[in-house]
Amino acid sequence: MAEKLSGDARDAALAGLSGWDLVDGRDAIIKTYKFKDFSEAFGWMTRAAMLADAMDHHPEWFNVYNKVEVTLTTHDVDGLSNLDVTLAGKLDAL
Amino acid sequence: MAEKLSGDARDAALAGLSGWDLVDGRDAIIKTYKFKDFSEAFGWMTRAAMLADAMDHHPEWFNVYNKVEVTLTTHDVDGLSNLDVTLAGKLDAL
């Protein structure tokens, strides 16, 4: 269940993430992951896709060769939710 | 081996593709594929990734849920090449 983040809880949740930035003009967070090559990048995406689909919470992501740019937000709450923070943590742990 | 497309050969190659548009301000082509859900979209991306890596010619692509937006261009020739047209045809055939 998605709960929109606000106030201190939001600040604390975002402070717990590493390398994620707020997106200009949107209530969303973004991070770029870099890999050795396309194969390594897409291998990571495949694992991430399984994680995301199991959560039924999906990233917006852009890939070119060894780079994957991931944007997280929750359409259902029109902004950042606990699901985004959870998914961000899982992606970082891959 | 990438060969930059120009003139009549370029026109003929692009005319042979269905649903691909030229990108504003870049010598590149773009197409958006839509699927039933994320699982179907990512399944298609996985097959596309294997095709692309076998060609050593990689897309720029953006995915959100059931939508995959694919941009093709060839950095080595700074524009559209025969490899882009070949990859576009293979993606359409998946």
CATH number at residue A51: 3.30.1360.20
Joined tokens for residue A44: 């990571």
Question: Residue A60 pairs with which residues in a beta bridge?
Answer: A71, B64
Residue A25: pLDDT band (50, 70, 90) is very high
Euclidean distance between the first and the last CA atom of chain A, given in angstroms as a whole number: 23
Q: Are strands A67-72 and B60-64 parallel, antiparallel or unpaired?
A: unpaired
Tell whether A56 is covered by a domain: yes
Q: Write the pLDDT tens digit of every residue in A39-82.
A: 999 999 999 999 999 999 999 999 999 999 999 999 999 999 99
The answer to whether residue A17 sits within a structural domain is no
Asked, for residue B9, whether it belongs to a domain, the answer is no
Q: Is residue A66 part of a domain?
A: yes
What is the amino acid identity at position A49?
Answer: A
Q: Dihedral of the CA atoms A46, A51, A54, A58 (nearest 10)?
A: -80
In a domain, A69, yes or no: yes
Contact B49 A65 (CB under 8 A): no
What single letter denotes the amino acid at residue B92? D
Interface test with B, best of A40, A51, A55, A65 (most B CBs within 10 A): A65
pLDDT for position B89: 97
Range of the domain at A37: 26-93
pLDDT confidence of A1, banded at 50, 70, 90?
Answer: confident
Q: Check pLDDT > 90 for residue B1.
A: no
Count up the domains in chain A and report the number: 1
Nearest Cα residue to B58 out of B81, B27, B26? B81
